[in-house]
Amino acid sequence: MFRKSQKGFTFLELIAVLIILGILAAVAVTRATNFDVEVVTGADTLKSHLRYAQTMAMNSNPNAPADQTVWGISCDGTSYWLFNGTDSGDNIMRLPEDDSYIDANRRINLAAKKISVSGFTVFFDNRGIPYSAYPGTPLASDLTISVSPIGGGTNVNINIKPLTGYMP
C-alpha cells in the first residue's frame, strides 16, 4: 500500500504564500512611494514660488529704487518666504499657497508639507537675474536647492541657472 508523506508543502500552499508576499510587497512599495510624491510636489511648489518671485521682480517698475524692484525667496530650513526689497527679513509678502501651510508670519511651514529644504536666499532684479546677495554680483554658478522628505528618502534638487534664472 502507498503511504502519503507528511513532509513538505503542497503546490497550492506555495502559491498561496507567494500571493500573500506579493500583496505585502505591493503595499510596502506604495507606502514608500508616497514620500517621493510629497517631495516632488513640494519641490514643484517651491520652484513655482521661485518663478513667482522672479516674475514679480521683472514686472516691477525699472525706474523705482532697488528696494521696490528686487524680489526673492529665503529659507531657513524650517520655512520659506517671499520678500520684496534688498533685506530678506523685511517686507515679507504672502505667497499664493494653500492656507494650511502658511503661518502667521506669512511663511510656508515645511513641517506641514512633510519636507525639508536646504537653507538659501535668492534675490531677483528687474531683469530676472538671480543673486545670492543684493547688491552684489549675479550668481556665478548654479544655485542648487535640495528638497527631501522629513522621514528620509529620495531628494529632489532645484537648480537656478546663473544670469538667466532658468529653472529646468
Check residue 98 and give its pLDDT.
Answer: 76
What per-residue confidence (pLDDT) applies to 68?
82
Using a cut of 0.85, tell me whether the model's pTM lies above it: no
Residue 79 lies in a domain: yes
Question: Does pLDDT of 139 surpass 80?
Answer: yes
Q: What is the DSSP string of 20-70?
A: HHHHHHHHHHHHHHHHHHHHHHHHHHHHHHHHHHHHHHHTS-TTS-HHHH-
Give the amino acid at 168.
P
Domain membership flag for residue 2: no
Is pLDDT above 60 for 137?
yes
Residue 165 lies in a domain: no
C-alpha to C-alpha distance for 59 and 54, rounded to whole angstroms: 9
* 101: in domain: yes
Q: How many domains does the chain have?
A: 1
Q: Would you say residue 156 lies in a domain?
A: yes
Residue pLDDT, tens place only, 42-65: 999 999 999 999 999 999 887 887
Query: Around Cβ 147, how many Cβ atoms within 10 Å?
Result: 25
- E strand or H helix at 164, and its extent? none
**Residue range of the domain that includes 74:** 33-160
CATH of the domain at 66: 3.55.40
Tens-digit pLDDT profile for residues 77-123: 999 999 999 888 888 999 987 788 898 889 999 999 999 999 999 99
Q: Is residue 10 part of a domain?
A: no
Mean pLDDT of the chain: 88
Tens-place pLDDT, residues 14-45:
899 999 999 998 887 776 655 578 889 999 99
Is residue 12 a part of any domain in this protein? no
Q: Is residue 40 part of a domain?
A: yes
